[in-house]
């Protein structure tokens, strides 16, 4: 038979200093937990809504804290995360944040969930399949009046320098480019599947990148890049126009970064949707 806790131990277990009043008059914008590894069901990547997968998500969860409250109950954030059984989506994110706000009696709540999503990418000529990992991060925020959700993708491309091609007797230097796109959706918006955004933006550079290339594929990719040279500025503008033509996407931020092959620095270009509306 296990021994009952001594009275002093019982009092210590029941102590709740987080609920004490705070007299310093300083509200906190975010309080929570970070880098929590937890499984999550992901849906909405493929155009087929029935496709779902469980992945390891790395979560950041936070709520606002009123000036008169000393702290939050951080264990309740894990409890809410464990209760969340729905696939990750715009609507389920808002439902999840609503649960956190109620649990913590908070005005605002936010979350981020990062994971790698693998898509099958056949080679361009031989069609040999291989898995390509796409760095993905979903985010959401909610207050008493409104909420928004969205995702960020980091898409690799090849970018070949137009200047290098024009001034060289033969060849041209190319580099790995990264298109990082963050898309925001309001609470009642229709989501654009990330698969569609990936398919669009992988063509914003000189050539797409594939996980597996045999010789015919490599020839195709290098020749395509040579025939379609782009500066980092070109890739950013092309990516922006590709998203802007989709009426479902109204709020985005794009950063294109070239990991320069003949310089010690990177080259970057940034464009946001608001600049296209001015």
Q: How many CB atoms lie within 10 A of CB 105?
A: 12
Summarised one tens digit per residue, pLDDT across range 71-126 is 998 999 999 999 998 888 888 899 999 999 999 999 999 999 999 988 889 999 99
Please give the Cα distance from 8 to 30 (Å, whole number): 34
Domain boundaries, the chain: 26-276
Summarised one tens digit per residue, pLDDT across range 236-273 is 999 999 999 988 888 999 999 999 888 889 999 999 99
Summarised one tens digit per residue, pLDDT across range 17-58 is 666 787 888 999 999 999 999 999 987 665 566 677 889 999
* CATH number, span 26-276: 3.10.270.10
Q: How many CB atoms lie within 10 A of CB 175?
A: 21
Summarised one tens digit per residue, pLDDT across range 171-215 is 888 999 999 999 998 776 778 888 889 999 999 999 999 999 999
* Residue of 33, 218, 195 whose CA lies nearest to 120: 195
- The model's pTM is 0.85
Residue 13 has pLDDT above 70, yes or no: no
């Amino acid at each position: 038979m296990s021994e009952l806790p001594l009275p002093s131990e019982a009092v210590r277990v029941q102590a709740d200093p987080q609920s004490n009043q705070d007299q310093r008059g300083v509200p906190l914008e975010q309080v929570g937990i970070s880098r929590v590894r937890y499984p999550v069901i992901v849906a909405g990547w493929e155009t087929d809504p029935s496709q779902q997968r469980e992945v390891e998500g790395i979560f950041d969860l936070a709520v606002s804290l009123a000036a008169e409250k000393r702290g939050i109950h951080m264990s309740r954030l894990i409890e809410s995360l464990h209760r969340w059984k729905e696939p990750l989506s715009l609507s389920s994110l808002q439902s999840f944040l609503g649960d956190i706000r109620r649990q913590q009696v908070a005005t605002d709540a936010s979350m981020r969930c990062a994971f790698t999503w693998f898509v099958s990418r056949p080679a361009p000529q031989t069609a040999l399949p291989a898995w390509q990992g796409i760095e993905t991060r979903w985010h959401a925020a909610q207050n008493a009046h409104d909420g928004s959700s969205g995702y960020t993708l980091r898409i690799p491309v090849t970018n070949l320098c137009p200047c290098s091609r024009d001034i060289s007797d033969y060849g041209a230097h190319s580099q790995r480019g990264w298109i990082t796109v963050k898309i925001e959706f309001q609470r009642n918006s229709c989501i654009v599947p990330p698969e569609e955004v990936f398919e669009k933006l992988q063509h914003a550079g000189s050539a797409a990148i594939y996980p597996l290339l045999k010789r015919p594929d490599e020839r195709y990719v290098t020749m395509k890049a040579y025939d379609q040279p782009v500066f980092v500025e070109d890739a950013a503008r092309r990516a922006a126009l590709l998203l802007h033509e989709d009426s479902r996407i109204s709020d985005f931020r794009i950063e294109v970064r070239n990991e320069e092959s003949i310089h010690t620095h990177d080259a970057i270009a940034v464009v946001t949707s608001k600049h296209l509306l001015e």
